[in-house]
């Protein structure tokens, strides 16, 4: 698969004047090769293979070499370029002026040759031409023989490459909307123009009845279904039925619902990515799928008033393992909230880890917890926490039962998952007969408790009339409570749903003044949350896509945006971000 993934192009610029150029060839190509090795050794594709870089066949000292490099990159599926230089260049003759891909320049900070001068001149040219370009410049002067890959340069090179690769991974793919609007949630409406203009993606639509049709007509791999059902019966632990007696059905009916839900998992996956096995069974058209890198399922209420809910399908598609063992995560949104699915997608293409789809349910203040449970909050939760309880489903990996080398809870990338991790995630999860008041058609809900003290990043893409897309980003941690306290809180809402408690990192200012302020300023009823603190990468990705970011808690020193953002204001970076994004507009329009 990795051969079809987009690559990062490395462009070594050189002073084209003969008599000078010859002394710079080795140094300039060494910079390019060092950056290529850095990227390949630190970044991976969604399948775990090293990110591919394409270094220009020659250094670039004039327009003919720039054109040859462009043609080379075109044939190598390059989705972004990263220019390196340790000398002066004839700027407008050697720059890549393709406005549809991200650009960055690293100007080697040495005094023997003016690589940093080239960076400044190139940034000026790009700004004048309206093509945003990231500038990377080391803090300390280096000697000519140094590699220049100091810690600050490495951080920015990798941040740029991660975000640029994310742009390339989304381009040309599809978002699949299964159903329409769930319970009047505006975010369910797929933002078709946004997907095309900002992400280069198409939007696909199918009615939920297609799932029922495929089940009724047997349009799925029956051998795989038998394998999946056996695995599910053995590994998915059925928990307590919390429905009152008058809302329960017979065991035979619950068994039939369970079998139906397992078929939904296979069909949901086939709808997203296709399945060549279906063609062998005579269903050639259905075998193709929708090339969907993300999808959402409406469910409530038209479906769930009549059919088993989609929780099991949503849970397993979002999880990095199933009856076939470990596998890459997919992005699959509850309630067809396309805005949240897109945010989950941003997180996923940056981190290659499964994402949590959650309700932003409740802010629990210390006083409220004390009044309801008698418990005094402490530690990270001392100022209160956010209950991210979800009436749909989220990834089983979010149970936090996977462990790093030090024994800390973690959500691993799929290729790192072990059989022990899988067993522990499953052991920490129970599946409960769906609450009939919410889901008259039955089905099963997923319940686990996310482990505490995991670093996470919560994000949400919102759309505002007259403004367009805006992104919220908040780094923080999961927290755990004593079981008796947690159970009391769970029972006040629904004990059959996933339990994740979150606290943002407070800054003492704006929306991150307090946990209450975070809740009061969050822009929607859902959030996409991923393992790790990668908020700075999200800000860089958003700048590439021209999506302004508000309500974030990322330290200024970690923010990497194009040099063109600077003329829009240096005192108020948030305002400058809004103005720059409005001025440049979406990358594909």
- List active site positions: 335, 359
SS (H, E, C) 319-370: CCEECCEECCCCEEEECCCHHHHHHHHHHHHHHCCCCEEEECCEEECHHHHH
CA distance 547 to 132: 13
Q: How far is CA 429 from CA 265, 391, 393, 446, 497, in A?
A: 18, 15, 12, 7, 10
Are the C-beta atoms of residues 553 and 475 closer than 8 Å to each other?
A: yes
DSSP state for residue 23 in the 8-state scheme: G
Q: Is the bond into 301 cis (omega within 30 degrees of 0)?
A: yes
DSSP state for residue 414 in the 8-state scheme: G
Paired tokens of 481: 């409570």
Given the structure tokens 């809870």, which residue do they identify? Answer: 409
Planar angle of CA 65, 71, 77, nearest 5 degrees: 135
Given the structure tokens 């008041």, which residue do they identify? Answer: 437
Q: How far is CA 458 from CA 355, 390, 500, 501, 502, in A?
A: 10, 15, 12, 12, 9
Smallest Cα–Cα separation from 241: which of 266, 258, 260, 228? 258
Displacement of CA 342 from its chain's centroid (Å):
8
User: Could you tell me which residues come within 8 angstroms of residue 500 by beta carbon, excluding any fewer than 6 positions away?
Assistant: 356, 358, 387, 388, 389, 390, 394, 398, 450, 478, 529
């Amino acid at each position: 698969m990795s051969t079809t993934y987009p690559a990062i192009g490395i462009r070594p610029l050189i002073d084209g004047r003969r008599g000078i150029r010859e002394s710079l060839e080795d140094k300039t190509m060494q910079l390019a090769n060092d950056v290529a090795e850095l990227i390949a050794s630190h970044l991976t594709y969604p399948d775990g293979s090293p990110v591919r870089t394409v270094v220009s066949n020659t250094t670039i000292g004039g327009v003919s070499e720039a054109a040859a490099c462009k043609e080379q990159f075109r044939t190598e599926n390059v989705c972004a370029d990263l220019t390196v230089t340790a000398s002066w260049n004839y700027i407008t003759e050697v720059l890549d002026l393709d406005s549809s891909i991200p650009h960055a320049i690293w100007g080697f900070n040495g005094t023997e040759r003016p690589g940093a001068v080239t960076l400044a001149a190139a940034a000026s040219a790009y700004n004048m031409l309206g093509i945003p370009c990231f500038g990377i410049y080391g803090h300390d002067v280096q000697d000519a023989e140094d590699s220049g890959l100091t810690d600050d340069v490495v951080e920015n090179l990798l941040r740029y490459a991660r975000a640029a690769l994310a742009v390339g991974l989304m381009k040309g793919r599809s978002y699949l909307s299964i159903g329409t609007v769930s319970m009047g949630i505006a975010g369910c409406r797929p933002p078709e123009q946004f997907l095309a203009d900002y992400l280069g993606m198409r939007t696909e639509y199918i009615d939920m009845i297609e799932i029922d049709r495929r089940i009724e007509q047997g349009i799925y791999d029956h051998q795989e279904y038998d394998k999946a059902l056996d695995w599910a019966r053995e590994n998915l632990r059925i928990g307590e039925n919390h429905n009152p007696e008058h809302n329960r059905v017979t065991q035979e009916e619950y068994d039939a619902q369970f079998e139906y839900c397992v078929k939904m998992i296979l069909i949901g996956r086939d709808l997203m990515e296709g399945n060549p096995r279906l063609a062998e069974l005579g269903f050639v058209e259905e075998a193709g799928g929708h090339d969907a890198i993300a999808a959402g399922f409406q469910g409530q209420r038209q479906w769930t008033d009549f059919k088993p809910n989609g929780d099991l399908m949503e849970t397993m598609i979002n999880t990095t393992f199933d009856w076939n063992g470990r596998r890459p995560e997919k992005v699959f949104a509850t309630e067809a909230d396309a805005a949240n699915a897109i945010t989950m997608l941003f997180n996923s293409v940056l981190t290659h880890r499964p994402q949590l789809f959650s309700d932003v349910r409740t802010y629990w203040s210390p006083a409220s917890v004390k009044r309801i449970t008698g418990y005094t909050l402490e530690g990270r939760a001392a100022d209160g926490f956010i209950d991210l309880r979800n009436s749909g489903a989220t990834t089983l990996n979010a149970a936090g039962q996977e462990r790093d080398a030090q024994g800390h809870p973690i959500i691993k990338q799929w290729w790192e998952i072990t059989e022990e991790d899988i067993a522990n995630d499953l052991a920490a999860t129970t599946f409960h007969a769906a609450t009939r008041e919410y889901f008259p058609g039955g089905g099963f809900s997923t319940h686990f408790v996310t482990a505490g003290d995991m670093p996470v990043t919560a994000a949400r893409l919102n759309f505002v009339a007259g403004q367009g897309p805006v992104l919220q980003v908040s780094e923080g941690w999961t927290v755990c409570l004593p079981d008796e306290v947690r159970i009391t809180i769970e029972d006040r809402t629904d004990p059959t749903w996933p339990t994740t408690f979150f606290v943002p990192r407070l800054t003492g200012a704006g929306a991150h003044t307090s946990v209450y302020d975070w809740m009061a300023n969050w822009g929607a009823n859902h959030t996409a949350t991923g393992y790790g603190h990668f908020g700075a990468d999200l800000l860089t990705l958003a700048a590439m896509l021209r999506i302004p970011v508000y309500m974030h808690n990322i330290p200024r020193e970690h923010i990497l945006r194009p040099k063109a953002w600077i003329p829009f204001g240096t005192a108020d970076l948030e305002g400058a971000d809004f103005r720059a994004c409005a001025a440049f507009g979406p990358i594909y329009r």
